[in-house]
Structure 1
Amino acid sequence: MNTSDFWKNFRLGEELHIAGSFIYNGLRRFHELELFDNSDELFEFLYNLSVGIERLLKIAIVLHEHSEVGDQETLEKSLITHNHLDLLERVRNHVEIKFGKPHNDLLQLLGTFYKTLRYDRFSLNSVYEGHKEVSAILSFLNKHLQVEISKKNLPFATLNEDRYRAFIRRTVLAISQTMYTVIDEQARSLGLYTYELRYGSKAESVFLRKVNISDEDVLWKELLIFFMNSDPKTGYFKFLKGIEPLKFDPGLIRDYLDCFKSDASKAEVMDELEHHYGEMDKSDRKQRFEIIGFIGAQGVYFDDEGDIEEDNQ
């Protein structure tokens, strides 16, 4: 395998996983978003999405435009851009891609965000016009869903809704999976394996599994129900049941459940956890950390009653 084939096979294959991870993280961040009021949360969503889709477009461009006789330096310099629509047009020079208005507008929004909006707060003029990420997202949703979400509803919070989550998911996945198909087909035509995705990776979830974060929420809820209603017959369950629970407040169960679905919600409960640990003496706290460390640890196994009985026969 020559140098260029190795590059396109393996290094761009790594880039494909990186792009998929950024896109997945963006989708998850928007899914977890409860309010449109916080610029930092929308910034995280837009940043992840813009980086992921930009890298995806560039993979497709390299696979179509690179050749042994071409100018490598010129190609590499041409990729130093953050204009998503321009990158898309370069791909369209080689394959037909039909995107609707929402897809093109989202790509334009991502390009604008990455080029200008993400730096806006470093400008003195931001004093007079802040929350540009919020305004950009609300304008995008208002335009394509024919709704009237406004930041002017103060003092009331601007709530995210499942219909907004579903629309963002559909639009992002349509762009992502279309571009993955372009990469897949071109790689195969070149006899390369750039398209291969690691099973269980975030990239596989985005490009092949059509990830739906709502379905992943169902998973943790079903697992929670399973844990709560299973008899402690296995060694693992006996171990878990044998640990004295901390005295969390049953009245705050909704807040605790939010920790399973949102990283942001964990911060609100961490103070209470730290309080509980602060009430212990140093030796008890150290012992509990050691016990808790066994949960989910690799290479830790618990004997089951059934296994012991079979061994004794």
Structure 2
Amino acid sequence: MSDKYKSLSEPDFFWKNFRLGTELQISGTLIYNALYFLDTIEYIHHEEDIFELLYNLAIGIERLQKITIILLEHSESINQLDFEKSLITHNHLILHEIINKIQSIKLGKVHFKFLSLLRDFYTSYRYERFNKKSINKPNFDKKAFQEFLVNELQLETSKDDEALYPYKKEEWIENNKRLKKFIGKTIGTIVNSLYEIIGDRARKLGTYTYDIRYGSKAFKIFMAKEFTFEIENNFKKEIIVSLLSKEGMNDEFKKYIQTLEPINLDEYNSSYYIQYLMNSITNYSRISEYQYLIEEKEIPKDRINDIEHIGTGQYFDFDFEDDEISK
């Protein structure tokens, strides 16, 4: 048996079991945050949106790669300081090669292109705008990500339809279901391959590095292996249908909500208000109507007391008569 699989010393076990276990949770959280943010934006266009997406993915996947390397390569017989220095890199392709030399990972061309994009973003692009000479260059992170999407998804560009699109189509890429699934699948292949190695090596070492807190962001990534938010969005829609339907949920809490007098929302149709419930980030401007009603004192001061329990997930016994329910 290899020295790597002999009983670990207490410090080594603590490091690989607890510290790396925490790092795994952090990695999953960062990847989740990136994909959740991707789910909320309408177009792949704004520099700050692309930066947030790539930043979280670059760090999340890098940390996942380094956890994998430690479990694969480290033993107490090697020089600890030299080993830790070898991990000081943000080059995702170099980290991949280190892993691949020990245990083969089957990735396709698209995955290497994406790892290359993350490497270039984190090592170069993320600080490019701090240089004055950047004014003479395009935003590299935006340009690189959009070109990646155009090439891999074979999207139309302004050259294909200049008459109908006075702006460059490749600079306003619609963030549709196809794009989200493509990014999710690409990331999922990389992440699942690394997590599988982590689980296998941890079990051989006798650690529980792979253990993920149930219900956490990392749980969705590593255990549920879900890399889009399609199921969550569909469930939200079903909840709305059930709440509004006479044939849907009919518990005491719903009856309580029905006793509340609705405020006067009339700037948009109902579909737009539901869109705000589904995604309050990109639809923030719609809250101005609510702010106006507050400023004009059209909402009673004690209204907060009436609605504060909605959405808390707690159950309350409300004392009211059935004839108080709005019909």
* TM-score greater than 0.5 by the shorter chain: yes
- Post-superposition shift, 1:223? 0.7
Q: Which residue of 2 aligns with 1:294?
A: 309
Matching of residue 213 in structure 1 with residue 229 in structure 2: yes
C-alpha distance 189-97 of structure 1, shift in aligned 2 (>3 A): same
C-alpha distance 304-65 of structure 1, shift in aligned 2 (>3 A): farther
**Does the 8 Å contact 1:59/1:183 carry over to 2?**
yes
Q: Distance in 1 between matches of 2:158 and 2:40?
A: 20
**Does the 8 Å contact 2:31/2:221 carry over to 1?**
yes
Q: Distance in 2 between matches of 1:149 and 1:257?
A: 32
**Percent identical residues:** 36
- Post-superposition shift, 1:101? 0.4
In the alignment, which of 215, 229, 239 is matched to residue 245 of structure 2? 229
C-alpha distance 13-165 of structure 1, shift in aligned 2 (>3 A): same
In the alignment, which of 275, 278, 295 is matched to residue 258 of structure 1? 275
Q: Distance in 1 between matches of 2:244 and 2:309?
A: 19
Q: Normalising by structure 1, report the TM-score.
A: 0.88
Q: Residues 41-190 of structure 1 correspond to what in structure 2 (within 5 A)?
A: 41-149=49-157, 153-155=165-167, 157-190=172-205
- Post-superposition shift, 1:229? 1.3
Matching of residue 196 in structure 1 with residue 204 in structure 2: no
Deviations 1:198-235 (A, max 9, x none): 22222121122121311211011001111111478522
AA aligned opposite 1:139: E
Q: Distance in 1 between matches of 2:212 and 2:23?
A: 11
SS state of the match for residue 93, structure 1?
A: helix
SS state of the match for residue 294, structure 1?
A: coil
C-alpha distance 304-280 of structure 1, shift in aligned 2 (>3 A): closer
AA aligned opposite 2:127: Y
CA RMSD for the aligned pairs? Answer: 2.4
Q: Which residue of 1 aligns with 2:266?
A: 249
**Does the 8 Å contact 2:38/2:180 carry over to 1?**
yes
Q: Distance in 1 between matches of 2:23 and 2:133?
A: 36
More moved, 237-246 vs 168-177: 237-246
Q: Which residue of 2 aligns with 1:21?
A: 29
AA aligned opposite 1:277: I
Between the two proteins, the alignment pairs up a number of residues equal to: 303
Q: Distance in 2 between matches of 1:60 and 1:236?
A: 48
- Post-superposition shift, 1:55? 0.8
**Structure 1 runs not aligned, ≥5 long:** 306-313
Q: Distance in 1 between matches of 2:268 and 2:104?
A: 56
In the alignment, which of 290, 297, 304 is matched to residue 273 of structure 1? 290
Q: Distance in 2 between matches of 1:235 and 1:182?
A: 49
Q: Distance in 1 between matches of 2:121 and 2:98?
A: 20
Q: Distance in 1 between matches of 2:95 and 2:252?
A: 55
Q: Normalising by structure 2, report the TM-score.
A: 0.85
Deviations 1:173-195 (A, max 9, x none): 00011110010111011011111
**Does the 8 Å contact 2:267/2:289 carry over to 1?**
no
Deviations 1:68-124 (A, max 9, x none): 222222222222211111111111122111110000110010011111111121121
